[in-house]
Amino acid sequence: MFKNNIVKARTINDAWRDTMWLCVVNGYDYKIEQGSYVGQIRKQLEYLTIIIEEPWQTPLAVSLPEGLGFAPPTSEEKIQNYFFNYLLSNKKEDKTSYTYGQYILKQIDPVINKLYNSNGNTNQAVISIGNERSIYLNDPPCLRTIDFKVVDGKLNMTVYFRSWDIFAGLPENLGGLQLLKEYVLNFLDDTEDGKLIAHSAGAHLYEMYFSLVNQLCVDKISVSDGK
């Protein structure tokens, strides 16, 4: 199971559960020296590929068994807000340096035009997040690339995250990105919804979620300091 750190799943919920378990089994101990939660030890995957066959299946929001004492990390409403107010909007709060939307909005129409005018036969329908100044930010964008491809009449989306919070970030990110894919699909003729594929070289589980992950996974998480 989990050969080559590849998760193949039917839905976003299935992918989330399996990716957590994969990180428990194959993750390595990573002490945070720079970034969020400096000083903590987290479990991180050297690399990760997720292939979701039917990412449109609803609800998009993931679920947790009752009785755990924890709420799911996102909801249908939060995913909708993430899509409309962060992925497809250039408005940002005073304390934030950027939103993904400020990059996406400038590129989404040209991407749709390339797909439409080529009948899907193009490798150029790619949105880049960030620029040459992003490396100087205290927290550079985690999502860096959104790639659209039409394969056998179906629109696939492939994304790359430089760093990815598996428990709290992944479900809302994938739900919102699926809505972005459906938005693009509205402008294409004779094209069906396709796979959602994600890559990361920094997918991780934060220490604060270890106890919950242990309740969800068959194998149990542990790190070198004994926590």
Kindly state whether residue 224 falls inside one of the protein's structural domains. Answer: no
Q: Which DSSP symbol is given to 86? A: I
pLDDT by residue (tens digit) across 138-184? 899 999 999 999 999 999 999 999 999 999 999 999 999 999 999 99
- What is the domain-level CATH number for residue 40? 3.30.572.10
The average pLDDT across 14-30 equals 95
Query: Domain range for residue 51?
Result: 3-61+70-216
Please, which pLDDT band fits residue 217 given cuts at 50, 70 and 90? confident
- Measured CA to CA, the distance from residue 169 to residue 82 in angstroms comes to 11
Kindly state whether residue 132 falls inside one of the protein's structural domains. Answer: yes
Kindly state whether residue 180 falls inside one of the protein's structural domains. Answer: yes
Residue among 104, 109, 148 nearest 125 (CA) = 148
Please give the order of strands across the beta sheet that includes 164-165: 28-31, 41-44, 203-205, 164-165
Kindly state whether residue 150 falls inside one of the protein's structural domains. Answer: yes
Kindly state whether residue 165 falls inside one of the protein's structural domains. Answer: yes
Q: Which residue has the tokens 């270890």?
A: 210
User: Between residues 212 and 11, which one has the greater pLDDT?
Assistant: 11
Evaluate whether 178 touches 218 at the Cβ level (below 8 Å): no
Evaluate whether 171 touches 62 at the Cβ level (below 8 Å): yes
Kindly state whether residue 93 falls inside one of the protein's structural domains. Answer: yes
Kindly state whether residue 221 falls inside one of the protein's structural domains. Answer: no
pLDDT at 41: 84
Mean pLDDT of the chain: 93
pLDDT at 32: 77
Kindly state whether residue 14 falls inside one of the protein's structural domains. Answer: yes
What total of structural domains would you count in the chain? Answer: 1
Report the percentage of the chain scoring pLDDT > 70: 96
Please, which pLDDT band fits residue 131 given cuts at 50, 70 and 90? very high
pLDDT at 1: 63
pLDDT at 225: 58
| 180's tokens | 């972005």
Q: Tell me the one-letter amino acid at 94.
A: D
pLDDT by residue (tens digit) across 46-91? 999 999 999 999 999 999 988 887 889 999 999 999 999 999 998 8
Please, which pLDDT band fits residue 227 given cuts at 50, 70 and 90? very low
